């Protein structure tokens, strides 16, 4: 009855008033406080300074479906703020870009880390060109809100000359130097990205929103982490981020089927669009994770200890107890990959490691590649593994044992992932195939046994294993060591990459048998890198 007495003019005025109130409320809400610096990202930092996570985000449930706010006529530009920062890894709200420069719009630049701890020129790294990789104002700069308004505010129609790249963007500033390598792409770049995003946003109480849009995709287990809408490889062409076996592309399509990928030419398009001196324009990223390999190596964890870029974001989130130490934080990635490959997914997300029903030993056999064992030692190792499994399976009341001799180059990507997913103990010569360890759900018996030429050592799989709660053993012929007795520094002696690596097969079989026996009795090592004193 009320509507009969409301004129059309009054009705329109009411609608306009409601719209104005909605826009004003969205724009006038208090800006989240900026990052409280905890010492990371500065010259005087040390590992012992890592006490709290650098995040000011408040965990919230999913926003309502309608979240679009028109900023074109906003009186003030949204200032940039930090969600989280570790050397080489920075999550921004409201980051801007114009003419190739990442711009932080802020009234107080002192609230941000030094640019050299966030970005670089993107040149490939070596031991002699650190000065050339140091960022300048061309790579990253600070702009006051008033300067931003002067540059891009109020065009002919009164609208700001800024285009929002909606959603969540991964800005990968790494050169193609390591991108086209399965380990560096998945176990460093994606591993670190997810550790940081999960740690900053995960809320176990959040429920996924009801959606009217049809989809065959299961939601990720960590459903409160923002949806990743795009990845931009700033310095890589379309082939530069793809590995020869195809796992990098496989990972992206399996885990993020809706994610758009842009490469260097797309970034150049965005640069050209904002390089016009007649009409000055900018891009606006509402939520962006910027990763930079050179900047990560300027941090104490990567540069002074692990040489693994993912260690910086993982460590800060683990220290703050934002991620667990047994790999449940990685469950969304792992389960999506295994399901995509047609494997069985069992993710109970228990806070403790469980005993498996079957002990599955998977040997990543590299005899068809450049770096491999002496052939007679390879045969002896396989025989020792087969003998161990046969002997264990004769025990009636014991768990079942299984041995898989896997030649990865002879299998499809799906088959490789299915083998990895059911693995308890992964065995192999140092090499890319051991990256599959990130696909195995850790349990109380989990281990990686990595075979090196005597004297050789690298932290690639050692650190990655331990960050997922998996015990790692390095083997030099008939000698083994594990944390905290590993060498302090990597070493690549003559023959490290060669075809004549020796190993004592029966010694490795005994090592595995003793490892399983100890873990079955409840002897668990303090294995996590979060406890490393470096």
The string of pLDDT tens digits covering residues 462-515 is 999 999 999 999 999 999 999 999 898 899 999 999 999 999 999 999 999 999
Residue 50 has pLDDT above 80, yes or no: no
Same-domain pairing of 280 and 381: no
Q: Which residue reads 């046969």 in tokens?
A: 390
Instruction: Identify the pLDDT of residue 7.
Output: 54
Dist CA 284 CA 152 (whole Å): 11
Query: What's the confidence (pLDDT) of residue 48?
Result: 36
Query: Do β-strands 400-406 and 358-364 pair in parallel, antiparallel, or remain unpaired?
Result: parallel
Question: At 45, is the pLDDT very low, low, confident or very high (cuts 50, 70, 90)?
Answer: very low
For the segment 447-460, the average pLDDT, to the nearest whole number, is 96
Q: Which of 297, 323, 349 is the last residue of a domain?
A: 323
Q: Do residues 300 and 261 share a domain? A: yes
Give dist(CA 365, CA 446) in Å, integer. 19
- What pLDDT is recorded for position 218? 86
pLDDT of residue 264: 98
Residue 23 resides in a domain: no
* Residues above pLDDT 70, as percent of the chain: 85
pLDDT at 105 (0 to 100): 98
- Do residues 281 and 159 make contact, with C-beta atoms less than 8 angstroms apart? no
Residue 465 lies in a domain: yes
Enclosing H/E stretch for 142: strand 140-143
Residues 308 and 347 in one domain: no
Q: Residues 6 or more apart from 332 whose CB is under 8 A from it?
A: 194, 198, 220, 221, 222, 225, 255
Taking Cα atoms as reference points, which of 236, 206, 76, 218 lies closest to residue 147? 76
The pLDDT of residue 233 is 98
158: left (phi over 0), alpha (psi -120 to 50) or beta: left
3-state secondary structure of 90: strand
Listed range (95-109, 208-222, 402-416) with the worst mean pLDDT: 208-222
Q: Is the pLDDT of residue 320 over 90?
A: yes
Residue 156: its pLDDT value, please?
A: 76
Please check whether residue 375 lies inside any domain of the structure: yes
- Does a cis peptide bond (omega within 30 degrees of 0) precede residue 484? yes
DSSP secondary structure string for all residues of 6-59: S-HHHHHHHHHHHHHHHHHHHHHSPPPPPP---STTSTT--GGG--S-SB-PPP
Range of the domain at 68: 44-207+219-323
DSSP three-state, residue 401:
strand
33 pLDDT band, cuts 50/70/90, is very low
Number of domain units in the chain: 2
Which whole-number Å values give the CA distances from 258 to 59, 112, 261, in the listed order? 24, 32, 10
Domain end point (choices 290, 323, 356): 323
* Shared domain check, 234 and 127: yes
Which of helix, strand or coil describes residue 86?
strand
419, 436, 460, 440: which is closest to 247 by C-alpha? 436
Residue 18 lies in a domain: no
Is residue 56 located within the same domain as residue 98? yes
Residue 47 has pLDDT above 50, yes or no: no
Per-residue pLDDT for 444 more than 50? Answer: yes
pLDDT given at position 209: 60
Residue closest to 35 by CA, chosen among 88, 89, 113: 113
Q: Residue 375: left (phi > 0), alpha (psi -120 to 50), or beta? A: alpha
Same domain for 317 and 341, yes or no, is no
User: What CATH code is carried by the domain that includes residue 352?
Assistant: 3.40.50.2300
Residue 21 falls inside a structural domain: no
Q: Could you tell me which residues come within 8 angstroms of residue 532 by beta carbon, excluding any fewer than 6 positions away?
A: 47, 305, 483, 484
Within this chain, do residues 225 and 250 fall inside the same structural domain, yes or no? Answer: yes
Find the DSSP H helices in 298-405: 300-301, 311-319, 331-340, 375-393
Mean pLDDT, range 305-332, rounded to an integer: 95
Q: Are residues 357 and 455 in the same domain?
A: yes
Q: Is residue 228 predicted with pLDDT exceeding 90?
A: yes
- For residues 359 and 285, membership in a common domain is answered with no
Residues 75 and 173 in one domain: yes
pLDDT of residue 350: 85
Phi and psi at residue 406, to the nearest 5°: -105, 120
User: By mean pLDDT, which of 157-166, 205-214, 303-312 is the weakest?
Assistant: 205-214
Mean pLDDT of 38-65: 42
Please check the confidence at residue 247 and state whether its pLDDT lies above 50.
Answer: yes
φ/ψ of 16, rounded to 5, equals: -65, -40
Whether 69 and 192 share a structural domain: yes
The predicted-structure confidence for 333-392, as pLDDT tens digits, reads as follows 999 999 999 998 887 788 888 899 999 999 999 998 999 999 999 999 999 999 999 999
29 assigned to some structural domain? no
Given 272, 302, 323, which residue is the final one in a domain? 323
- pLDDT for res 29: 39
Owner of token pair 């994770």:
289
Residue 136 has pLDDT above 90, yes or no: yes
Is pLDDT larger for residue 239 or for residue 223?
Answer: 239
Residue 9 lies in a domain: no
Distance of alpha carbon 102 from alpha carbon 169, whole angstroms:
13
**How many other β-carbons are positioned within 10 Å of the β-carbon of residue 352?**
8
**Within a domain: residue 13?**
no
Burial 327-342 (b: 16+ CB within 10 A, else e): bbbbbbbbbbbbbbbe
**Cβ proximity of 362 and 425 under 8 Å:** yes
Angle subtended at Cα 416 by Cα 463 and Cα 426, rounded to the nearest 5 degrees: 40
Q: What is the pLDDT of residue 104?
A: 98
Q: Tell me what the pLDDT averaged over the chain comes to.
A: 87
Token duo for residue 289: 């994770």
252 lies in the same domain as 161 = yes
């Amino acid at each position: 009855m009320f509507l009969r007495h409301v004129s059309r003019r009054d009705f329109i005025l009411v609608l306009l008033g409601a719209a104005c109130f909605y826009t004003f409320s969205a724009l006038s809400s208090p800006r989240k406080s900026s990052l409280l610096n905890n010492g990371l990202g500065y010259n005087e930092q040390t590992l012992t300074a890592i006490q709290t996570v650098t995040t000011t985000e408040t965990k919230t449930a999913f926003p309502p479906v309608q979240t679009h706010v028109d900023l074109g006529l906003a009186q003030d530009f949204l200032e940039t703020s930090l969600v989280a920062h570790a050397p080489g890894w920075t999550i921004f709200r409201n980051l801007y870009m114009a003419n190739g420069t990442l711009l932080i719009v802020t009234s107080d630049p002192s609230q941000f880390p030094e640019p050299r701890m966030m970005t670089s020129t993107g040149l490939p790294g070596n031991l002699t060109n650190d000065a050339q990789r140091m960022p300048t104002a061309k790579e990253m700069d600070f702009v006051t809100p008033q300067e931003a308004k002067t540059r891009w505010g109020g065009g002919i129609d009164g609208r700001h000359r800024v285009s929002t790249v909606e959603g969540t963007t991964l800005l990968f500033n790494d050169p193609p130097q390591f991108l086209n390598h399965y380990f560096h792409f998945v176990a460093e770049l994606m591993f670190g990205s997810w550790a940081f995003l999960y740690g900053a946003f995960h809320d176990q109480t959040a429920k996924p929103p009801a959606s009217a849009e049809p989809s065959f995709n299961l939601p990720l287990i960590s459903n409160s982490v923002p949806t990743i809408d795009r990845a931009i490889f700033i310095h890589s062409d379309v082939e530069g981020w793809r590995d020869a076996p195809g796992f990098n592309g496989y990972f992206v399509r399996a885990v993020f089927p809706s994610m758009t990928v842009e490469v260097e030419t797309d970034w150049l398009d965005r640069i050209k669009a904002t390089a016009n001196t007649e009409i000055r324009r900018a891009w606006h990223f509402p939520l962006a994770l910027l990763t930079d390999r050179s900047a990560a190596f300027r941090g104490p964890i990567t540069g002074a200890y692990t040489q693994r870029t993912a260690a910086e974001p993982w460590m800060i989130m683990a220290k703050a107890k934002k991620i667990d130490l047994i790999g449940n934080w990685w469950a969304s990635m792992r389960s999506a990959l295994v399901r995509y490959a047609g494997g069985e997914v069992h993710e109970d997300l228990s806070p403790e490691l469980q005993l498996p029903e079957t002990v599955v030993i998977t040997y990543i056999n590299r005899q068809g590649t450049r770096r491999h064992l002496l052939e007679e030692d390879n045969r002896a190792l396989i025989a020792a593994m087969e003998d161990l499994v046969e002997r264990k399976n004769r025990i009636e009341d014991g768990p079942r044992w299984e041995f898989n001799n896997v030649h990865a180059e002879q299998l499809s990507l799906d088959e490789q992932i299915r083998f990895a997913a059911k693995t308890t103990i992964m065995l192999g010569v140092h090499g890319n195939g051991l990256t599959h360890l990130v696909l195995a759900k850790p349990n109380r018996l989990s281990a990686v046994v990595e075979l090196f030429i005597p004297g050789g050592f690298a932290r690639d799989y050692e650190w990655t294993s331990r960050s997922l709660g998996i015990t790692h053993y390095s083997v030099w012929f008939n000698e083994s060591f594990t944390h905290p007795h590993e060498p302090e520094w990597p070493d690549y002696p003559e023959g490290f990459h060669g075809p004549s690596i020796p190993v004592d097969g029966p010694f490795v079989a005994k090592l595995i048998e003793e490892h399983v026996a100890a873990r079955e009795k409840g002897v668990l090592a303090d294995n996590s890198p979060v406890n490393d004193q470096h």
